[in-house]
Amino acid sequence: MTADSVIRSTLDAAGLSYEQKGDGRYFVTLPGTKKLQTNCWLIAGEHAFSVEAFVCRRPDEAHEEVYRYLLRRNAKLYSVHYTVDAIGDIYLVGRLALDAVTEAELDKILGQVLEAADGDFNTLLEIGFATSIKREWDWRVSRGESLANLQAFKHLMEPESAAAGPVMDS
């Protein structure tokens, strides 16, 4: 089985939305709950397979704390790791030998990308965008707008919780 056929077969079996963008290049949309979708590139090159998924734009604040969180998370991730691009946007990336790409392995990698991007998303927002979230909350309250999609950050509006900051696992 070629890498292309393994990728297509795995994506089809998982029922994932994707577009093939040339030989060995697939743009995949992984559905989430906290991060509604994670866009991911799967690329089968001549000798290696790589995955790249956008997670979050460059944090507005607390850069050191965000990057410390990402480095700690890297120790627990399977086949992918967090990185930042030249402007500071956050990605998950991974690379493995082309002959190591099997349906089972690709399924595990996609599962890890989704678990990390979706599972870490609110924490990254909480650490790196707390001021913007609070400003948005206040603006919505002042106008009587819905707070439904900000409920995960309600604890940031409480003075003692906001001062303590987010809880990070070690």
Q: Do 104 and 144 have their domain in common?
A: no
pLDDT score, position 170: 46
pLDDT score, position 124: 97
CATH number of the domain enclosing 37: 3.30.1460.10
Q: Which two tokens stand for residue 34?
A: 């906290």
Q: Do 150 and 80 have their domain in common?
A: no
Q: Do 18 and 101 have their domain in common?
A: yes
pLDDT in tens, 123-138: 999 999 999 989 988 8
Domain span at residue 34? Answer: 3-118
Q: Do 63 and 109 have their domain in common?
A: yes
Q: Which two tokens stand for residue 145?
A: 């707008």
Assigned domain for 170 exists:
no
> pTM for the complete prediction?
0.86
What is the pLDDT averaged over residues 157-169?
Answer: 57
Q: Do 73 and 140 have their domain in common?
A: no
Q: Do 21 and 72 have their domain in common?
A: yes
- Say yes or no to pLDDT of 160 above 70: no
What is the pLDDT averaged over residues 100-128?
Answer: 96
pLDDT score, position 96: 94
Q: Do 61 and 108 have their domain in common?
A: yes
Q: Please state the domain count of the chain.
A: 2
Q: Where is mean pLDDT largest: 19-23, 46-50, 91-95, 162-166?
A: 91-95
Give the distance from CA 128 to its chain's centroid. Answer: 14
Q: Do 7 and 58 have their domain in common?
A: yes
- Say yes or no to pLDDT of 75 above 60: yes
Assigned domain for 48 exists:
yes
Return d(Cα 81, Cα 21) in angstroms, integer: 24
Assigned domain for 123 exists:
no
pLDDT score, position 10: 95
- Say yes or no to pLDDT of 167 above 90: no
pLDDT score, position 34: 92
Q: Do 22 and 76 have their domain in common?
A: yes
Q: Do 112 and 142 have their domain in common?
A: no
pLDDT score, position 162: 44
Give the helix ranges, DSSP H, for 63-129.
63-74, 103-128
Cβ–Cβ under 8 Å, residues 76 and 63: no
Q: Do 105 and 27 have their domain in common?
A: yes
Q: Do 94 and 139 have their domain in common?
A: no
